[in-house]
Amino acid sequence: MTKLRFQGVLPALITPFKDGKVDEKAFVALIERQLAGGVHGLVPAGTTGESATLSHEEHRRVVELCVQTARGRVPVIAGAGSNSTQEAIELTQHAKSVGADAVLIATGYYNRPNQEGLYRHFAAVNDAVDIPIVVYNVPSRTIVDIGNETLERLSNLPNILGIKDATGDVARVSQQRKICGPDWVLLSGDDPTGLGYIAHGGHGCISVTANVAPAACASLYNALLAGDFATARDWQAKLITLHKVLFVEPSPAPTKFALAHLGLCAEELRLPIVPCTEAAKPLILAAMAEAGVA
């Protein structure tokens, strides 16, 4: 597999809160734990980071703190998505100003744009800021699904780097490799199908599970990048239950429960997301044990 700057496992970092505010000390410690576990990049202020309920000031601070903590040890892809194109541009400008290596931008949720609107959304950011852009396709949240023909158009723009695909449809990898060219970066946004995504030619995964089990996820993707699918399947078997139960209730509630259990942060979330029910907690703890995280 070709060596790429953006590959392997990149955790979609949670944003820890304490007494209603971003817990910066816990956030730095979480990042250091990820780096010690061997992850290949960091993704702050995305969906798992509760970006939708961060203030603009908090969003910018989370990105800045992640870049400062990483200190160039791994690339940082900063969440900069918005259903307002102008706001996405402003978040992208800030990410570049603090030293992020790329940005992750979602399709236009709530607005429900057509394919031409989606193209113009990303093209406007491409034209406004000179920084690599990863298109984030997550129709389960945004309602709209960015089509392969639109991605082909976007792949011709100088700053559009590739995609985070959270559809779970691994066949899209082969289709996009064919139409977007060999330099198109293919990152899964779906932990359970990440192994299959790589087998089809993908390059990595922006992972929720890595928040809880960074070393195990790094081992899984190191094996995949080396073409050692037998070892990768062994790691996947240990992680598959955890992949699934971290979405047994609205994310990132299960992930924050798991990290609170490990003593790494408070379980605090922002409404309208609420903490895990008591019924979910034994399932999460059992999955953590299965994955070797305790």
pLDDT at position 3: 40
**What average pLDDT does range 22-48 have in this prediction?**
98
Provide mean pLDDT across the span 150-162.
97
162-172 tens-digit pLDDT:
999 999 999 99
Spot the catalytic one: 119, 164, 221, 256: 164
Give pTM, 2 decimals: 0.96
Q: Name all domains of the chain by residue range, CATH numbers in brackets.
A: 8-228 (3.20.20.70)
164 tagged catalytic: yes
pLDDT-derived band at 4, boundaries 50, 70, 90: low
SS3 track for the chain: CCCCCCCEEEEECCCCEECCEECHHHHHHHHHHHHHHCCCCEECCCCCCCHHHCCHHHHHHHHHHHHHHHCCCCCEEEECCCCCHHHHHHHHHHHHHCCCCEEEEECCCCCCCCHHHHHHHHHHHHHHCCCCEEEEECHHHHCCCCCHHHHHHHHCCCCEEEEEECCCCCHHHHHHHHHHCCCCEEEECCHHHHHHHHHCCCCEEEECHHHCCHHHHHHHHHHHHCCCHHHHHHHHHHHHHHHHHCCCCCCCHHHHHHHHHCCCCCCCCCCCCCCCCCCCHHHHHHHHHHCCCC
- pLDDT tens, 58-88? 999 999 999 999 999 999 999 999 999 999 9
Q: What is the mean pLDDT of residues 148-167?
A: 97
How does pLDDT run across 11-31, given as a tens digit for each residue? 999 999 999 999 999 999 999
In the annotation, is 136 catalytic?
A: yes
The predicted-structure confidence for 222-270, as pLDDT tens digits, reads as follows 999 999 999 999 999 999 999 999 999 999 999 999 999 999 999 999 9
How much is the pLDDT for 210?
98
Out of 3, 21, 119, 136, the active site residue is 136
Residue 294, pLDDT score: 78
